[in-house]
Structure 1
Amino acid sequence: MPEIIKTYVRWVDRVSDYVGIVAMYLIFLMIGILLMDAITRNVVDIPVHWAIEAAQFTLAAYYFMGGAMTLKNNDHVRMDLFYDNLSERGKARMDLITMVCLLFYLSVLLFGSVSSLSYAIETGERRFSMWNPSMIPIKSLMVACIVLMLLQTFSLIIKHVATLRGERIA
């Protein structure tokens, strides 16, 4: 494989790892928000109206940001009925077939999320609640993370093609 392709794979893998590590720490933020909400509501008797929505946004950020790292580390859900019995090259072929489906899915998801972000920006979309937060930040994050998942999918395709050619890309 040409060096530029190897550099692309290393770069995307590294960015996916960094974003995934930040996502892992979001769980602690969400726990802190929910703990604060429980204490202020039940002990101090002063409900914090924004806490549940902030926890929901944090959870959404968590699963969007963790997507690319999950793909990279092959930690996603898969039906291993036949897959485990395949050779390394057979697994690469099967993964390439599923990557085409994943590319289609992520492309449709990206199209919808860009449309949703565009609508949020044009209308100044806000969530209908007492806190009334803007939807632009979470939708922007969603678009960025879907783009990163697409980049990671292309990285995986390159790795699987390299496997079929008998090469190794770290």
Structure 2
Amino acid sequence: MSSAKPLRLPAVLQGYVRLVERLNYRVGRVAMYLLLVLIGILLYSSFSKVFMQPALWTMEMAQFTMVAYFFLGGPYAMQMGSNVRMDLFYASWTPRTRAWVDAVTVLFLMFYLGVVLYGGIGSLSYAIEYGETNPTAWRPYTWPIKSLMCIALVLMILQASAEFLKDISRIREETE
């Protein structure tokens, strides 16, 4: 969950990184179980199509569950270093160069996530204000999944900022 080496940051920033990582670790571990929920929904869908009247809600509920799994698992994946990197040059760089590149690229990521969050909040407020539903036979409200997506984007921004601070710590460590 936390890095092996102590961070070379002020205590308040170390506390922030630990708090964010603890939160995202727990959310990510809970999100893992959404895969089992997804499997259950899809099994019920198959069963109901064969032995009963097909359920109207299963495909959309499976989609909502997959979105929740994907979005809530993102910060956890970043924390665990499971994100994809183009290793063509990265592997041959020094730890300090990697930290510099990671620090710069995470700033672009935070900007992108901020823009997506801004749009997500606008979409969420529209969904709440007008009682938006999906145009299907089941017609579920969209605000619950849009709320979850906005929360997950905030968690991702927090994790990205914690990664930025850890990169700064690595840079400082290499210069001292």
TM-score bracket relative to the smaller structure? over 0.9
**Structure 1 equivalent of residue 46 of structure 2:** 38
**Structure 1 equivalent of residue 97 of structure 2:** 90
Where does structure 1 lack aligned partners over 5 or more consecutive residues? none
Q: Is the 8 A contact 2:24 2:155 kept in 1?
A: yes
Q: How far is 1:158 from its partner?
A: 0.4
| Residue-pair matches, total | 166
Mapped pair 1:147 → 2:162: no
**Structure 2 equivalent of residue 19 of structure 1:** 27
1:18-167 correspondence runs (5 A):
18-42=26-50, 44-166=51-173
The one-letter code matched in structure 1 to 2:165 is I
Q: How far is 1:127 from its partner?
A: 0.7
The one-letter code matched in structure 2 to 1:147 is V
Q: How far is 1:70 from its partner?
A: 1.1
CA distance in 1, matches of 2:144, 2:52: 30
CA distance in 1, matches of 2:56, 2:93: 53
TM-score, with normalisation over the residues of structure 1?
Answer: 0.95
CA distance in 2, matches of 1:70, 1:82: 22
- SS of 1:141's equivalent in the other structure is helix
- SS of 1:85's equivalent in the other structure is coil
Identity of aligned residues (%): 44
Q: How far is 1:74 from its partner?
A: 1.4
Query: What RMSD in Å do the two structures reach over aligned CA positions?
Result: 1.0
CA distance in 2, matches of 1:116, 1:73: 30
Aligned pair partner of 1:10 in 15, 18, 26: 18
Q: How far is 1:103 from its partner?
A: 1.2
CA distance in 1, matches of 2:13, 2:111: 22
Q: How far is 1:96 from its partner?
A: 0.9
Q: How far is 1:45 from its partner?
A: 3.2
Runs of 4 or more off by more than 3 Å in structure 1?
none
CA distance in 1, matches of 2:129, 2:23: 30
Q: How far is 1:19 from its partner?
A: 0.8
